[in-house]
Structures are given as structure tokens and as C-alpha cells.
Amino acid sequence: MTFPLPFAPRRIAIGANAHVGIAESIRARRPDLELRGKVFTEITADDLEWAEAYIGFKRPPSVSDMGNVRWIQCTGAGVDSWMASDLDPRILLTRSPESFGPMIAEWAVSRIFAIQLQVLELAAAQRERRWAPRDIARVAGTRALVVGTGDIGRAIASSLQALGVHVTGVSRSGAASSPAFSAVHASSELADLVGNADWIVVAVPDTPASRGLISREVLSRCRGAVLLNAGRGSVVEEAALPDALEKGWLRGAALDVFATEPLPADSPLWSDPRVMVSPHISGLTTIDGAAHGFLECLDSLERGELPKWVVDRARGY
């Protein structure tokens, strides 16, 4: 894209729950900047007319456009909330350089152990004061298919490999740089790969290429796997999940992201004991990460360079 450089904004609006902490962290390094922060739902059109740059994960819901803002720093790795908002193409969109891989890997590992060790079933038996011996299989020696081999997918693969899990990767190109993957295949081969997996871990963003990647057809090729989704809800054909569980294509699911968030109260996923629901918390932005990411990109713009973290809007990341 063509963006006028250098760009040295001085009026910055922050739309985030942690806006006070983010502003304090930025102000400690750049006291010359004017900062105005609110919870993103309270950002007004006047705030955006005042601002030259905006820091936030989502577009403020009460505004029709971004006013005078010429640069948006998304505080998350996924920028789908901005891509879906008919954003003016003249606005520069950058994303956070913060690594969410380690935290999301912990989320995935915790769910895999909870399911394999039958933690929820044992907790239910304890509440009933019922002694419930059972066979427990080890996680080591199982097979994981990690869909997405970027920063997050590599962190998940490394954690699982350390536990003795055999890890195969799936990427758009069929290539990855991490030795944690025993093999990497192109996403076009996905339907042929899921039948050999005990765990299918989704770690891709919402892009035109990834939407519906885990389709009913792909799910029907599974043989009792557990699906874990920490990518985006749009990647999985969510309406097919109840059927996939009933037919035994899946034996369980751990879901952190959904097609509609919050997950509607009438979704059958809430009440299915084979499903673990979490409210999009597998990888959270930190205050220091949000501030550092903004300042790193600002430094590049002030030097007359496009930041490394500019979003390719055609690809969606």
C-alpha cells in the first residue's frame, strides 16, 4: 500500500479495557505524546476526530468511521475484527508483535491433559462422593495434527513434542521451520490427514483462505479425534460439531473461539459434556505487549519506514 512517510502522530486514542495501564506504559517512554483512553465501547466520534492514531483490538461500535485516524495498531495477532469493518483502505493497519504462542500452547496442553486424564468426569464423581476407578491412557505416544505453523502453531508443537506427542503440521504452503513438526503438509491435504490424529489443534487466523477449512467433510474423515480451536470460529463449520460428536467423528472438543461471540445461550455446545468452552481467553494481550508493539511500529513510521507488522489486507494477516 502507499502510505505517506514519515508519519509522526502525536494524538493517540486507546480503546481497551486496560487503557490506563497501556497509556502509563507508553507515557513512560514517550511523554511527548498526547494520550486519550477509554474502554473501546465508550470511544466516541469526537475521540476519533481528535486522534491521529488508534490502539485497540476492535473497532469502536458506536462510530461509523475512524474520523481523523490514519493508523490503527491492533493489539491482537488476529485482525479479523478490523478486516470485517469496511475499513478505509487509506488507513494503515498494523498488528501486535507480541507472541501469543506460549500462552495458547499452555491452553492447548491443559485441555489435552484434562480430556485424556478425564479430569471433568472425576470432578463430577467427587461432587457425588462416588468412587470411580477407570483406565487412563497417557498423552505421550498420541498423535497431534496442528493446523497452522506460525508463531502459535510452532509453540503448540514444541510443547506437545516435549510431552512425547507425535506432531504433524498443516500450513498453506506445506512448509514450516520448526523441528517440533515431524512432517508438514499443505492444507489441501487436510481431509486425508485428520483420520490419523488423536488431537486436531486449530491455530490459524480468520482469512479468506481459512474460512470453513475444518468443514463437515473434513470432520467426517476424523476417527474419534478431539478438536481444539484457538484460532478463529470461522475456521470451523461450527454447525456441524454436534453431528460430529454424535456420530463419533469427534470424541470431544475444546473451543475458545466461536462463529458468534459471546457464544449464544441456545448453542448446543454449552450443554454437551464432551465440549469444553472457554470465552476467547487462550491468548491474552498484555499491557507491556500492547505498549511495546505500538512503540515499535511508531519508531519505524517516524524513521520513514513501514513497520514489519503491517497487515496484508488481501491475505488477512
Q: Which domain, by its residues, includes 257? A: 101-277
Give the Å distances, CA to CA, from 1 to 91, 139, 175, 263.
Answer: 10, 47, 27, 36
Q: What is the DSSP letter of 181?
A: -
Q: Looking at the structure, tell me whether residues 123 and 235 fall in a common domain.
A: yes
* Contact indicator for 39, 58 with CB cutoff of 8 Å: no
Q: Looking at the structure, tell me whether residues 146 and 37 fall in a common domain.
A: no
The per-residue pLDDT for range 274-308, each reduced to its tens digit, is 999 999 999 999 999 999 999 999 999 999 999 99
Q: Looking at the structure, tell me whether residues 125 and 248 fall in a common domain.
A: yes
Give the bridge partners for 310, in sequence order. Answer: 94
Q: Looking at the structure, tell me whether residues 266 and 146 fall in a common domain.
A: yes
Instruction: Give the catalytic positions in this structure.
Output: 232, 261, 280
Q: Looking at the structure, tell me whether residues 267 and 157 fall in a common domain.
A: yes
Q: Give the total number of structural domains in the chain.
A: 2
pLDDT at 316 (0 to 100): 85
pLDDT at 317 (0 to 100): 85
Task: Kindly state whether residue 260 falls inside one of the protein's structural domains.
Answer: yes
Q: Looking at the structure, tell me whether residues 90 and 191 fall in a common domain.
A: no
CA distance 75 to 181: 29
Nearest 5°: CA angle at 195, between 190 and 197? 90
Q: Is the peptide bond before 6 cis (omega within 30 degrees of 0)?
A: yes
| 275-277/199-202 β-pairing | unpaired
Nearest 5°: CA angle at 41, between 35 and 42? 55
Q: Looking at the structure, tell me whether residues 169 and 225 fall in a common domain.
A: yes
Q: Looking at the structure, tell me whether residues 94 and 106 fall in a common domain.
A: no
* Contact indicator for 282, 103 with CB cutoff of 8 Å: yes
pLDDT at 314 (0 to 100): 85
CA distance 201 to 156: 8
Record the pTM: 0.94
Would you write out the chain's pLDDT as a tens digit for each of its 317 residues?
A: 689 999 999 999 999 999 999 999 999 999 999 999 999 999 999 999 999 999 999 999 999 999 999 999 999 988 998 987 689 999 999 999 999 999 999 999 999 999 999 999 999 999 999 999 999 999 999 999 999 999 999 999 999 999 999 999 999 999 988 999 999 999 999 999 999 999 999 999 999 999 999 999 999 999 999 999 999 999 999 999 999 999 999 999 999 999 999 999 999 999 999 999 999 999 999 999 999 999 999 999 999 999 999 999 888 88
Give the Å distances, CA to CA, from 94 to 234, 237, 272.
Answer: 22, 28, 38
Q: Looking at the structure, tell me whether residues 174 and 200 fall in a common domain.
A: yes
CA distance 155 to 140: 17
pLDDT at 127 (0 to 100): 98
Q: Looking at the structure, tell me whether residues 209 and 265 fall in a common domain.
A: yes
Q: Looking at the structure, tell me whether residues 175 and 224 fall in a common domain.
A: yes
pLDDT at 286 (0 to 100): 97
**Burial (0-12, 13-18, 19+ Cβ within 10 Å), 132:** exposed
pLDDT at 315 (0 to 100): 85
76: domain CATH number?
Answer: 3.40.50.720
Strands (E), the chain: 11-15, 34-38, 53-56, 71-73, 92-94, 143-147, 166-171, 183-186, 199-202, 225-229, 250-255, 275-277
Q: Looking at the structure, tell me whether residues 48 and 148 fall in a common domain.
A: no
Helix (H, G, I), strand (E, B) or coil at 136: coil
